[in-house]
């Protein structure tokens, strides 16, 4: 197809598809008037049953923890994929361009001041996942961004020391593996996969959710390590000499 | 035995994580052994549940969250002979391809085994899931693992195939998610049984029809039905051969399994009044796919591409079987799925042997070279005949059941479509086999067109010696395919299992109330064994077609040229579609969806 | 007015798909794909919204206070991670394709096929 | 639906369309970041703070990855 004809066909087919989609979505319940039973059951029962106050976390890490397991492994596959795509080519030449990032003093100072704050903030978001908005995923990503901040202000060496590949990779896989292990732990005592096995603590305390807290932590470790690795692969690729072709 | 259900998914996932944690500490042979054992474990567990659930399916509530007053709180895994059977197939093919990969790759990256295990776990998760969003998550996980495995060789065409595959299948996944949103908005439920119960038997309105259209399109994109099939040939041609075994053998078919599962749990009720229309639309889609795939298959000379197009054709046949909406048709499709998966896996492994030994899978340039590999040649011959439906292979039993069901619905022409699909794909495989292993047919100089594409070898240099671990897996798979056809009463047993599969109130009762009314027994109006006559005929036709293709040049020149001229427009159009441009594929995806929608509207009006 | 959010989600979905189909640059294409996916979170959250209800978080309000649907939020969270993983992976593929072919234009990277 | 909700919905639609129509990848990346911000505002308004938080962290992380990818690509083209 030529560019022009593709544009016309794309426009036509998107319009037709749009008609079909709109024909379906206008029959949804009115915006703001959602009736569904599933959410009512959870909103009513989760606080008492699971001793957590952030219901989406309870859904993600307990009621529907199996979905989150799949999601963790999606990150796991993405990390492995980047390693396959970038690293196995990189093995041949160890030559690296020096870092090209020119950082002004102002950024450096601001960054140094922010690091402590972001680390704390990320940890807080992870740890309070069962109580307030956020959780392993959001907090883990913030922690990964902190490592990136260190790259910005201290350069490659510090970044490489922090993101030593084999270690972070093991950490990432361990996070994903821990999720499965926590799930399997209950099987040994005759329970179901991913069933809560810890005593649930007092409401509004950090560990009140029992297993939710552990799974949340595992997710936090997995996500932060995964994103550090993703960034590291891209950054390393960007410093590779351009002679490959 | 219930507690073992989650192990089917958790074991390979845990294995993948372990392999990554210990990647430097593990020598490669351990990693191979570990991965093979895990995949084998999945196969054994799956087989165990296949026998265990023959009478009553098993529902496993993850996290122990059983439903309350008919409202599912958690996620259910549903194990019945179908999901367990496909899990077994996944385990078997996974084991075979991992054993094959053991001596196949010279140096395989550390990630390969971990990725394969995640891929296996994701496919098993997809087929066990009784929750529509979990289906989506595992669909995505399986797809992401498949993309990475496609691009594993990281050469140009591999990346290209990976990109086309990833973009089209992701859009397919978005369609599915839109369908899920529509259903969730209407019913407030994610559990298949609960959605089905909430929709009841009421007439289908626009929302339900669009939801069905979107979910079906997304899964059609995975199962490579025309015109959503473009990614498949690109991806299969470039993915490492052991991976192709899983792609063609089971991943593509899982899309159809997903449609069947969702249709009979959710849409069966509301669509009761529209059954004739559903049947017509799906039959048309299946027929077009079966014939287009068969034609394209015959036109290929790159062996992996040839096999990929044959998979498309067989996916069309499977859809025809399901589209009949009759127990016999579905039973036939399920047997056909397993039979075809085993045979196709064996064929891809044989292609891998060729690639390993000669660093090439071009049919023409390999002409006669295969004389040194008599074992492989015999396997290809058997597998080619099995594709064509020779007794006693499982493919024939499945096909016979589908034909029987079609005759019951006065679709006699289905037999012709199935016959053509078998003859074309079987003929193409036999032609390639005859040329490679016997040296028949034209030489490279006589062949007008150049090679389609060069493939980067998966091994460092051509091999003189071949390890037994590379011949044993395909031989084993072909033997299994024959065993299925020979199993006594398999047809009846499949029909009994289908009776439950089609019975949505039994499914819902078992899932939501923990007890199920016995499904209505199916009256066996007709025979349910292999139709040996048809099988012999289609196998003979395939052989004849292969011989014709090989010795076409011995025909009078005029005849040969006349045939070529006749076929040229079709070849031109079919090849023109496969532009390899990701934008085109996306346009086709949207046009295909709209066409399906339009076809649906027209049929509903007419019938 | 009551279906505006749904229609907007569909609009963004279609815009993303149109961008993917006509894109001349793989990185642009990948971003368009993520826009198409983002429309699914909008649709999910819009479906589960209840006028006048608060977030499904009962840290500072007693349980039982009217709240929107927590399930769609959990689904959207999963969806966000899926999108992030996919985007990172596809970006890497695009970069590799560039390194091997010297272009990001899907029109130009085609190896000739029969 | 309140007026302000409608306004934010429309803004999100406009910004998303702009992301698609902007064919220059560098500028598109910045628009994508803005789009992420608007989305998170929308989700806060729709009482989904968890999703808002994850959209905003992703909206910070993904553009960084895209910019790095663009740098790799740009470095080769010059």
What does DSSP say about strands B58-61 and B76-79: parallel, antiparallel, or unpaired?
antiparallel
Domain count of the fold of chain B: 1
Please report the pLDDT score of residue B522 as a whole number.
64
Question: For C5-21, how does the pLDDT look when each residue is reduced to its tens digit (9 = 90+)?
Answer: 999 999 999 999 999 99
Please report the pLDDT score of residue B553 as a whole number.
72
Please state, in angstroms and rounded to a whole number, the distance separating the CA atoms of residues B138 and B140: 5
- Tell me what percent of chain C is helix, strand and coil, each rounded to the nearest 5: 65, 5, 30
Contacts of C83 in chain D (CB under 8 A): 58
Q: Is residue B371 part of a domain?
A: no
* Mean pLDDT, range C19-36, rounded to an integer: 95
Please determine, for residue A96, whether its predicted confidence score (pLDDT) is greater than 70.
Answer: no
Q: What is the pTM of this model?
A: 0.95
Question: For A18-45, how does the pLDDT look when each residue is reduced to its tens digit (9 = 90+)?
Answer: 999 999 999 999 998 888 788 888 888 8
Q: Is residue B153 part of a domain?
A: no
- The CATH code belonging to domain C4-101 is 1.10.287
User: A132 vs C78: CB contact, 8 Å cut-off?
Assistant: no
Question: For B172-199, how does the pLDDT look when each residue is reduced to its tens digit (9 = 90+)?
Answer: 999 999 999 999 999 999 999 999 999 9
Task: Tell me how crowded residue C2 is: count the other CB atoms within 10 A of its CB.
Answer: 13
Domain limits for position B68: 1-128
Q: Are B172 and B194 in contact (CB under 8 A)?
A: no
Contacts of D21 in chain C (CB under 8 A): 19
Please state, in angstroms and rounded to a whole number, the distance separating the CA atoms of residues C26 and C29: 5
Is chain C touching chain D, with at least 3 CB–CB pairs below 8 Å? yes
The residue with tokens 């063609």 is B248
B107 band by pLDDT with thresholds 50, 70 and 90: low
ipTM: 0.95
Q: Within chain D, which residues score under 70 in pLDDT?
A: 75-78
A240 band by pLDDT with thresholds 50, 70 and 90: confident
User: D20 vs C18: CB contact, 8 Å cut-off?
Assistant: yes
Task: Tell me how crowded residue B602 is: count the other CB atoms within 10 A of its CB.
Answer: 13
Please report the pLDDT score of residue B570 as a whole number.
74
Please report the pLDDT score of residue A244 as a whole number.
46
A243 band by pLDDT with thresholds 50, 70 and 90: very low
Please state, in angstroms and rounded to a whole number, the distance separating the CA atoms of residues A71 and A61: 11
Please state, in angstroms and rounded to a whole number, the distance separating the CA atoms of residues A20 and A85: 38
Q: Are B435 and B367 in contact (CB under 8 A)?
A: yes
Nearest by CB to C95, which of D19, D48, D69?
Answer: D69
Q: Is residue B261 part of a domain?
A: no
* CA atoms within 13 Å, Cβ hemisphere of A39: 28
Please determine, for residue B556, whether its predicted confidence score (pLDDT) is greater than 90.
Answer: no
Contacts of D64 in chain A (CB under 8 A): 148, 231
Q: Are B447 and B569 in contact (CB under 8 A)?
A: no
H-state helical runs in B22-110: 28-52, 81-104
A94 band by pLDDT with thresholds 50, 70 and 90: low
Whether B595 contacts chain A with CB within 8 A = no
Please report the pLDDT score of residue A111 as a whole number.
86
Nearest by CB to D57, which of A142, A237, A245?
Answer: A142
Please report the pLDDT score of residue B91 as a whole number.
96
* CA atoms within 13 Å, Cβ hemisphere of B355: 27
| Chain A with chain D: Cβ pairs closer than 8 A | 50
Nearest by CB to C94, which of D17, D39, D69?
Answer: D69
C48 band by pLDDT with thresholds 50, 70 and 90: very high
Q: Is residue B148 part of a domain?
A: no
**Distance, CA of C114 to chain centre:** 35
Domain limits for position D25: 3-77
Please report the pLDDT score of residue B419 as a whole number.
92
Nearest by CB to A24, which of B61, B62, B207?
Answer: B207
Please report the pLDDT score of residue A215 as a whole number.
92
Question: For B247-281, how does the pLDDT look when each residue is reduced to its tens digit (9 = 90+)?
Answer: 999 999 999 999 999 999 999 999 888 888 999 99
Q: Are B384 and B516 in contact (CB under 8 A)?
A: no
| Chain C with chain D: Cβ pairs closer than 8 A | 120
- Tell me what percent of chain B is helix, strand and coil, each rounded to the nearest 5: 75, 0, 25
| DSSP, res D32 | H
Contact partners, residue B496, CB within 8 Å, separation at least 6: B522
Question: For B44-93, how does the pLDDT look when each residue is reduced to its tens digit (9 = 90+)?
Answer: 999 999 999 888 899 999 988 999 888 999 999 999 999 999 999 999 99
User: C78 vs A60: CB contact, 8 Å cut-off?
Assistant: yes
Contacts of A8 in chain B (CB under 8 A): none
| Chain B with chain C: Cβ pairs closer than 8 A | 102
Q: Which residues of chain C from 4 to 63 reach within 8 Å of chain A, CB to CB?
A: 4-7, 9-11, 13-14, 17-18, 21-22, 24, 43, 46-52, 55-59, 63
Please determine, for residue A138, whether its predicted confidence score (pLDDT) is greater than 90.
Answer: yes
Strand-pair partners of A183: none
Q: Is residue B41 part of a domain?
A: yes
Question: For B462-489, how does the pLDDT look when each residue is reduced to its tens digit (9 = 90+)?
Answer: 555 677 888 899 999 999 999 988 888 8
Cβ contacts of A103-108, under 8 Å, gap ≥ 24: A103/A152, A103/A153, A103/A155, A107/A152, A107/A153, A108/A153
User: B3 vs A172: CB contact, 8 Å cut-off?
Assistant: no
Whether C20 contacts chain B with CB within 8 A = yes
B222 band by pLDDT with thresholds 50, 70 and 90: very high
Write down the mean pLDDT value for chain B. 88
Please report the pLDDT score of residue B368 as a whole number.
84
Nearest by CB to C49, which of D16, D28, D47?
Answer: D47
Buried b (16+ CB within 10 A) or exposed e, A80-99: bbbbbbbbbbeeeeeeeeee
> Helices A65-82 and B7-21 meet at what angle, rounded to 10?
40
> Helices B156-187 and C4-22 meet at what angle, rounded to 10?
170
B525 band by pLDDT with thresholds 50, 70 and 90: low
């Amino acid at each position: 197809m030529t560019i022009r004809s593709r544009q016309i066909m794309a426009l036509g087919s998107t319009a037709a598809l749009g008609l079909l989609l709109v024909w379906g979505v206008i029959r949804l319940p009115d915006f703001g008037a959602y009736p569904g039973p599933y959410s009512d059951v959870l909103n009513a029962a989760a606080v008492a049953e699971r001793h957590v106050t952030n219901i989406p976390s309870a859904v993600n890490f307990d009621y529907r923890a199996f979905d989150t397991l799949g999601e963790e492994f999606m990150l796991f596959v993405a990390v492995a994929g980047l390693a396959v795509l970038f690293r196995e080519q990189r093995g041949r030449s160890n030559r690296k361009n020096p870092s090209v990032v020119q950082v002004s003093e102002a950024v450096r100072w601001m960054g140094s001041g922010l690091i402590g704050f972001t680390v704390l903030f990320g940890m807080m978001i992870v740890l309070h996942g069962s109580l307030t908005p956020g959780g392993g995923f959001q907090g883990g990503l913030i922690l990964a961004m902190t490592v990136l901040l260190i790259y910005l202000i201290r350069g490659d060496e510090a970044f490489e020391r922090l993101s030593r590949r084999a270690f972070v990779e093991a950490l990432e896989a361990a996070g994903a593996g821990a999720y499965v292990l926590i799930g399997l732990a209950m099987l040994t005592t005759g329970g179901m996969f991913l069933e809560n096995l810890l005593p649930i603590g007092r409401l509004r305390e950090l560990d009140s959710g029992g297993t939710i807290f552990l799974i949340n932590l595992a997710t936090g470790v997995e996500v932060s390590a995964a994103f550090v690795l993703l960034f590291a692969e891209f950054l390393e690729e960007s410093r590779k000499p351009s002679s490959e072709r | 035995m219930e507690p073992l259900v989650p192990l089917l998914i958790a074991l390979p996932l845990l294995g993948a994580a372990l392999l990554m944690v210990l990647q430097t500490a593990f020598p490669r042979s351990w990693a191979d052994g570990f991965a093979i054992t895990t995949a084998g474990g999945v196969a054994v567990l799956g087989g165990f549940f296949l026998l265990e659930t023959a009478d009553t399916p098993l529902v496993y509530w993850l996290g122990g969250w059983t439903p309350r007053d008919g409202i599912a709180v958690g996620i259910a895994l549903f194990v019945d002979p179908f999901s367990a059977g496909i899990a077994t197939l996944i385990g078997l093919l996974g084991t075979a391809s991992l054993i094959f990969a053991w001596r196949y790759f010279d140096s395989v990256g550390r990630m390969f085994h971990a990725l394969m295990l995640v891929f296996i776990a994701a496919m098993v998760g997809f087929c066990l899931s009784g929750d529509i969003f979990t289906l989506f998550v595992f669909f995505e996980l399986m797809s992401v693992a498949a993309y990475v495995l496609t691009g594993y060789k990281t050469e140009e065409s591999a990346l290209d195939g990976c990109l086309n595959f990833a973009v089209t299948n992701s859009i397919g996944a978005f369609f599915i998610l839109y369908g899920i949103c529509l259903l969730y908005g209407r019913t407030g439920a994610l559990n298949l049984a609960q959605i089905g119960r909430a929709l009841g038997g009421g007439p289908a309105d626009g929302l339900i029809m669009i939801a069905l259209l979107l979910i079906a399109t997304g899964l059609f994109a995975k199962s490579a039905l025309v015109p959503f099939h473009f990614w498949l040939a690109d991806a299969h041609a470039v993915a490492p051969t052991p991976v192709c075994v899983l792609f063609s053998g089971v991943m593509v078919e899982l899309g159809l399994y997903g449609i069947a599962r969702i249709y009979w749990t959710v849409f069966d009720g509301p669509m009761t009044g529209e059954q004739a229309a559903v049947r017509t639309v799906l039959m048309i889609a299946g027929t077009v796919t079966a014939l287009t795939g068969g034609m394209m298959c015959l036109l290929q000379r790159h062996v992996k591409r040839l096999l990929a197009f044959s998979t498309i054709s067989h996916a069309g046949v499977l859809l025809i079987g399901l589209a009949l909406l009759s127990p016999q048709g579905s039973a036939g499709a399920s047997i056909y799925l397993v039979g075809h998966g085993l045979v196709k896996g064996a064929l891809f492994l044989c292609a891998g042997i060729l690639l390993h030994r000669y660093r090439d899978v071009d049919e023409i340039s390999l002409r006669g070279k295969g004389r040194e590999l008599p074992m492989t040649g015999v396997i290809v011959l058997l597998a080619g005949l099995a594709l064509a439906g020779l007794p006693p292979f499982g493919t024939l039993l499945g096909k016979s059941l589908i034909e029987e069901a079609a005759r019951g619905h006065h679709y006699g022409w289905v037999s012709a479509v199935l016959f053509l699909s078998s003859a074309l794909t079987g003929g193409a495989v036999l032609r390639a086999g005859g040329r490679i292993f016997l040296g028949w047919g034209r030489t490279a100089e006589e062949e007008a067109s150049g090679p389609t594409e060069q493939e980067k070898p998966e091994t460092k240099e051509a091999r003189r010696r071949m390890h037994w671990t590379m011949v044993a897996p395909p031989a084993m798979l072909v033997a299994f395919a024959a065993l299925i056809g020979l199993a006594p009463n398999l047809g009846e047993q499949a029909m009994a299992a289908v009776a439950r599969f089609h019975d949505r109130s039994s499914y819902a009762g078992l899932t939501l109330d923990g007890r199920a009314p016995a499904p209505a027994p199916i009256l066996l109006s007709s025979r349910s064994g292999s139709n040996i006559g048809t099988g012999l005929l289609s196998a003979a036709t395939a052989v004849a077609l292969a011989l014709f293709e090989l010795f076409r040049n011995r025909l009078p020149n005029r005849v040969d040229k006349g045939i070529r001229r006749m076929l040229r427009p079709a070849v031109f159009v079919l090849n023109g579609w496969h532009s390899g441009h990701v934008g085109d594929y996306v346009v086709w995806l949207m046009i295909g969806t709209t066409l399906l929608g339009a076809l649906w509207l027209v049929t509903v009006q007419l019938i | 007015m009551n279906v505006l959010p749904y229609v907007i989600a569909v609009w963004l979905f279609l815009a993303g798909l149109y961008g993917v189909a006509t894109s001349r640059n793989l990185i642009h294409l990948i971003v368009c794909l993520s826009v198409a996916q983002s429309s699914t979170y909008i649709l999910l959250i819009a479906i589960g919204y209840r006028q006048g209800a608060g977030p499904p978080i009962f840290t500072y309000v007693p349980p039982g206070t009217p709240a929107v649907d927590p399930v769609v939020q959990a689904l959207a969270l999963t969806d966000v991670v899926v999108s992030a993983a996919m985007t990172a992976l596809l970006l890497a593929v695009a970069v590799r394709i560039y390194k091997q072919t010297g272009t990001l234009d899907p029109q130009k990277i085609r190896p000739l096929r029969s | 639906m309140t007026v302000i909700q409608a306004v934010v919905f429309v803004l999100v639609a406009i910004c998303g369309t702009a992301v698609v129509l902007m064919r220059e990848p560098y500028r598109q990346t910045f628009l994508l970041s803005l789009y992420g911000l608007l989305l998170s505002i929308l989700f806060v308004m729709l009482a989904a703070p968890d999703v808002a938080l994850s959209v905003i962290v992703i909206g910070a992380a993904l553009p960084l990855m895209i910019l790095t990818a663009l740098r790799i690509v740009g470095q080769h083209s010059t």
